[in-house]
Structure 1
């Protein structure tokens, strides 16, 4: 049951990236991030855990990742775009890490 919810969340996030590619707006991406945050809060409540702590990634940061719960996919853009990953550490604490990734660049004709 847990796996099916994670798969459905991932499907929604992937589908929303195609909408984002068409509109190209920061507002759409922000809504996608908010939807992911809401889903992670629901996940935490269901698992009996505290809501995820949100941290901004810094180079060299030590990460204690035991289980990846969610990753927002990069948008279709030829720029650096924000993303986030929620994971569980060895103490069972949920953390959402915000970071930047290269967008999925599509060129015309390719």
Structure 2
């Protein structure tokens, strides 16, 4: 009987952690984007340029990418997640574009 109570307690703990991870995803994305924005502002200041404005990517948008400065790292998620790329165009101006990518899904179906 004690074994079943312990097993039930462990199952409840695992399920609650899963629920917290679901709700914490938005905070994780927001924190990652905030850190990226601060890092790119520091990069711009170091190079004597204004901080790049963030543009939402639109399908077919023409991008003049001469040098990629930063891309946010992949996130563990089985859904589309936000990502940002900061780049210098051919005139040397910093630009940041925000777009959606598929997260790195680590569920093993086997």
- The two structures have a TM-score, normalised by structure 1, of 0.75
Which 4+ stretches in 1 moved above 6 angstroms? none
Number of equivalent positions: 89
SS in 1 for 2:82: strand
Aligned match of 1:103? 103
- Determine the structure 2 residue equivalent to 1:13: none
Larger Rg: 2
Query: What is the SS of the residue equivalent to 2:83?
Result: strand
| Cα distance per residue 1:34-91 (max 9 Å; x no partner) | 0110000000000001111211000001000011111002211111111000000011
1:26-105 mapped onto 2 (5 Å cutoff): 26-105=26-105
Segments of structure 1 that go 5 or more residues without pairing to the other structure are 1-21
Task: Tell me the C-alpha RMSD between the 2 structures.
Answer: 1.6
Gaps of 5+ in 2: 1-19
Q: Relative contact order (alpha carbons < 8 A, sep ≥ 6): 1 or 2 greater?
A: 1
